[in-house]
Amino acid sequence: MDRLRLALLIFAAFIISIDFNIVYVALPDIGHELGFTAQSLQWVVSAYAVGFGGLLLLGGRAVDRLGARRMFVLGLAIFGIASFAGGLAGAPGVLVAARVVQGTGGALLFPATLALINNTFAAGPARNRALSLWGVAGSTGAVVGPMAGGVITNYLGWEWIFFVNAPLTLAAILAALRVLTPDPGGYAWGGFDLPGALVATAGSTLVVFGLASGPEAGWGSARGAGALALGGVLLAAFVLIERRSRDPLAPPRLLGVRSLVTMMALIFVLMGTINTLHYLFYMDVQEVLGYTALGAGLAFLPMSVTSIVGAAKLLPLLLSRLGMRNALFVGVLGAGLAMAAVAAGMSADGSYWRLLPGIVLLGLCGGLVYPMVFLASGTDVAPASRASRRRWSPPPSRSAARWGWPRSSRSPTRASMSARAPRRRRTWWPACVRPGG
């Protein structure tokens, strides 16, 4: 039965990973058909980050108090319904709203998944293996996502990248009701820390909103600096509330856990830049090199495959030979070098061959780092504090969307690139398999 539970949790991670990567491939088509501007297109991803980042702490507490199984099912239901609504969207505002609701579902689903893994598998090799397989599922979704997104967008339209989530989430809900152990009877409404939850949700939502709005509205505007300032004030108030709370949402003592704070900072910097680079890569190959959505998905395939190799093969090898700290150092260093290589290969007269070495190395190191940040973040955390840790440490892909995306709203688009280089004929295959590419 534990294997069935693990398979379900891996499937849930797979669904989320597919959705995240499919959206990247379809962004140019979404922008053209719904009328997004070059600056507002980033809201297709940033809206998810607003919902997810703003409600993650509250979602973690809901898992602790109301039950991991209940929140897992509820998160899947919200995610599936919002995905279907996104496919029906006929205007930018409707799609952005649907993405916010999708993020809300993710804010419940992510901590519920980690709680179910921790509750099902004992600390040690069994839990480490489960987390590694969970990371592999995310990497596998990164392989299937661009390919499926390219095929679906090319032949069915961008709407179906959202519609496809509905049957997947429904299947996961039905499986959860059968294989997951029911939560204990009743609801633990006491100790919910409602004041802290509301203030933290409002503060983090405003900070994410300000970061996402700054490039479009201006950093000195009310939507930019104003939202950031108000969000900062609310988060400072949240710290004061937590210090006085009998059952705090995020115990202040966790800030003294060096491994957790270090991993939070690493997620903030590294994963934000990696996912910003994903956006730049897809816009570069479609808007500059002239690939279709299918061609962009194929172009991303080497990075996706090497990310699986990094998570499934390289990670266990380096952990056994170098230990957590040194293996993490190797992964982060490699990711930094890879990002520099990809950035150097992007130019108006560039080619796919210039990008290929960097994206291969980035996939390998990204797959290595992804599961390690979760293993390392809980190294020095007492068992009683691990539920709170799940609320403090967001998944790399989502923290990346939260912090990295605003930087990319000035990235290459059809309008901006028209002044840099003549538009190339659109092709469905990557340059590496095109004669003379």
pLDDT tens, residue order, the chain (437 aa): 678 888 888 888 888 777 777 788 888 889 889 988 777 787 887 788 778 877 887 888 888 888 889 999 999 999 999 999 999 998 999 999 999 999 899 889 988 988 888 887 777 777 777 877 776 776 677 667 777 888 888 888 899 999 988 999 999 999 999 988 888 766 666 666 778 878 887 887 788 788 778 777 788 888 889 999 999 999 899 888 888 877 777 777 777 777 777 777 877 777 677 777 877 888 788 878 888 878 888 888 888 788 878 877 888 888 888 888 888 888 889 988 998 998 888 888 878 888 999 989 988 888 888 777 767 765 555 544 444 444 445 544 443 333 333 334 444 444 443 444 444 444 433 333 333 33
- How many Cα atoms within 13 Å fall on the side-chain side of residue 69? 17
| pLDDT score recorded for residue 84 | 95
CA 103 to centroid of chain Cα atoms:
10
| pLDDT score recorded for residue 1 | 65
Assign 3-class secondary structure to the chain.
Answer: CHHHHHHHHHHHHHHHHHHHHHHHHHHHHHHHHHCCCCCHHHHHHHHHHHHHHHHHHHHHHHHHHHCHHHHHHHHHHHHHHHHHHHHHCCCHHHHHHHHHHHHHHHHHHHHHHHHHHHHHCCCCHHHHHHHHHHHHHHHHHHHHHHHHHHHHHHHCCCCHHHHCHHHHHHHHHHHHHHHCCCCCCCCCCCCCCHHHHHHHHHHHHHHHHHHHHHHHHCCCCHHHHHHHHHHHHHHHHHHHHHHHCCCCCCCHHHHHCHHHHHHHHHHHHHHHHHHHHHHHHHHHHHHHCCECHHHHHHHHHHHHHHHHHHHHHHHHHHHHHHHHHHHHHHHHHHHHHHHHHHHHHCCCCCCHHHHHHHHHHHHHHHHHHHHHHHHHHCCCCCHHHHHHHHHHCCCHHHHHHHHHHHHHHHCCCHHHHCCCCCCCCCECCCHHHCCCC
What tokens appear for 277 in the block?
């680079």
| pLDDT score recorded for residue 374 | 67
| pLDDT score recorded for residue 188 | 61
| pLDDT score recorded for residue 435 | 34
| pLDDT score recorded for residue 97 | 93
| pLDDT score recorded for residue 233 | 95
| pLDDT score recorded for residue 174 | 94
| pLDDT score recorded for residue 190 | 60
